[in-house]
Amino acid sequence: MPGPALLRRLTASRTGVSITEFGLIAPVFMVMMMGVLDVCHTLYVQSVLQGAVQKAARDSSLETGGTSAVQTAMDTAITDQVKRLASNATVTITRTSFRDYTKAAVRAKEPFTDATSGTYANGICDHGEPYEDNNDSGSWDVDNGRTGQGGAKDTVILSTQVVYPRIFPFMKTVGLPANVTVSAATVLANQPFGDQAAVTVRNCP
């Protein structure tokens, strides 16, 4: 059995205290640092994506921006910018055109003339009521947008979504999702390089 003197020396000794404290603090500190790096990387990807989308929007508003080849080149440029930062990212780009900014802002129903009285005064386009087929789909739609770049004077929403695995996969153990999702969107108006396409008026069934 150790004597009183030995016990006093052991209890007074500071040997190994630093390494013990480091062992307790280091894991928490490393997780915090990697969390900060993860957030900073996400913000940087978001910034680069927004800049690439803004440039693509400006180029798209030109008359030449309406061609499929040019749009493909713009989409490739956006994707390349993102993949420099997240090589295994999935990039989804969509364009939706509207006849004017107001319709783009609210994504409203296609305008129609509702019956003023009776059974068919119901806020629904039916029973032969006329409507403006803004997206030229052949039917009355709740969303008046048309897929694609549209034509002269049209307003376009250019949207991009990027999904990629986290740079530190183990961060999901602290409650974060395995994948990061960032998105960017902008509204542009095509230049008046020609006459805007006429609205087709149809009748609901």
**CB contact at 8 A, 85 and 41:** yes
- DSSP assignment letter at 147: E
Q: For the chain, what's the residue count?
A: 205
pLDDT of residue 176: 81
What are the Cα distances from residue 117, in Å, to 38, 127, 130, 203?
A: 60, 13, 15, 18
pLDDT of residue 129: 82
Which residue ranges make up each domain of the chain?
16-203
pLDDT of residue 81: 94
**CB contact at 8 A, 154 and 145:** no
Q: Which residues of the chain carry a pLDDT beneath 50? A: none
pLDDT of residue 108: 64
Cα dihedral value 8, 10, 12, 16, nearest 10: 180
pLDDT of residue 3: 59
Amino acid letter for position 27: P
Task: State the pTM of this model.
Answer: 0.70
**CB contact at 8 A, 57 and 186:** yes
Neighbours of 99 (CB within 10 A): 23
Tokens 């440039």 found at: 55
* Closest CA relative to residue 139, chosen from 110, 168, 162, 97: 110
**CB contact at 8 A, 62 and 74:** no
**CB contact at 8 A, 109 and 141:** yes
**CB contact at 8 A, 99 and 189:** no
Tokens 């052991």 found at: 10
